[in-house]
Copies of this chain bind each other. A is one copy, B any other.
């Protein structure tokens, strides 16, 4: 049995989860009182920031935001609560929540779901002991969790890509006219895999291809954009190597396997989902910190969950 194929869609409206005050397209009256007239750059904020203020400061920088449908909703806490500190991460794991609490932060901005499904639906988890424990932990410490997925990818440029590019040291191979494709000097697949493992802190990667193949044209798609996205990317860009976070094995892996059996030299490097996008949440710190003076913004990596045996 399998999951339904196809890219995730933005199925929840922001307004379903957030009150209008947090979505007005500008910061709340309280926070505005202390803001300079420089767009998005508050100067003095005697009253501090609410969760909604921080969200709005970010949304002001995203083209087209707020989106009518998005998974980027509050998963716990409220837009009205005062922010004591901000943690950015891939997954708001129980460990990340405990680390936030330990540093006095009460606002976690996480790229991925909190409750183990894309829409963070929780009805089916009401009687689940892990869900109950995590919800109670968030409530006990009054932690707000906001998902920042659709918006970071819609930022110009994509914040995740910027973070990953910087972590890999690939700035010089970047072309903002074709930001998915990095043109390298021609390195072996083995060399590129070793670089990715070292720079992104990955113990083991999965590969389909010839480790000695020279790769020049790299299609970099962190995360799990889906089989059609991967395959159409290959059709359009004709890369030597596709680097992704996660795949459905019956989609991308089998396409690459057949392409190689046909005689194509395309290879595949699978980094793992969490580690493939984590640098995007480091990027978020440098992006957000200047906008919220007086609030500490720190990145707490949720890290790679797997042992490879």
Contact = CB atoms under 8 A, between A and B. Distances in A.
B306 A206 contact: yes
A180 interface: no
Contact of A306 (B124, B128, B207): B207
A1 B261 contact: no
A175 interface: no
Interface string A187-224: 00010010001000000111111010000000000011
Interface string A293-309: 00000000000011111
Copies in the complex: 2
A94 to B, nearest CB: 4
A130 B204 CA distance: 29
Contacts of A249: 224, 246, 272-274, 305
Nearest to A256: B305
Contacts of A133: 258, 262
Interface string A88-108: 000101110000000000000
Overall SS of chain A's interface: mixed
A197 B309 CA distance: 9
Nearest to A255: B116
A235 interface: yes
B261 A205 contact: no
A3 B117 contact: no
A7 interface: yes
B5 A250 contact: no
Contact of A224 (B248, B258, B308): B248
Contacts of A7: 1-4
B1 A254 contact: no
B250 A273 contact: yes
Interface of A: 1-9, 91, 93-95, 112-113, 116-119, 124-125, 127-130, 133-134, 149, 153, 190, 193, 197, 204-209, 211, 223-229, 231-232, 235, 246, 248-259, 261-262, 264, 270, 272-274, 305-309
11 contacts: A1-B8, A2-B223, A4-B6, A5-B118, A118-B250, A129-B235, A134-B258, A197-B309, A204-B308, A204-B309, A208-B305
